[in-house]
Amino acid sequence: MAKCDEGYFCAVCGNDVADITVSDLYLRYVTGMIVPEVLHTTPERHLRCNPTLAQFIIHPEFEPVVVEGDFDRRNLAPDIRSARDQLITRGWLRLQEIREILKTQELAITDYPLLEVRETCQSL
């Protein structure tokens, strides 16, 4: 396994982010929020250490995160909230897929993102 896939230390709690499925960094990457060139320079966090992003994961296997105040997803317009819920949840599910793929084969880092993110990057 490449060093970049072994985990990083969380910038919030200081503990190792050893699994891609709990990585805020890789969730942001697979959903197109950051580009591959900055993966090695962007601070890592556990998903739960970034509740403003984690609150958008809506899935029975993910314990819900609630943010109170200005950044509460419930403050967003319903169509914006729904789109964000769908994107971030799909990204989280992609992280689950990646973990399973990596158990049996290699996967290029450029193949991690969601399909529409990869297609957008290829057209640039």
pLDDT tens, residue by residue, 28-61: 999 999 988 898 899 999 999 999 999 999 999 9
What's the pLDDT at 123? 59
Please answer whether residues 115 and 123 qualify as being in contact, where contact means their C-beta atoms are separated by less than 8 angstroms.
no
What's the pLDDT at 7? 55
The pTM of this model reads 0.89
From the list 3, 24, 26, the residue with the least C-alpha distance to 113 is 26
CA distance 34 to 70: 23
Q: State pLDDT tens for residues 53-97.
A: 999 999 999 999 999 999 999 999 999 999 999 999 999 999 999
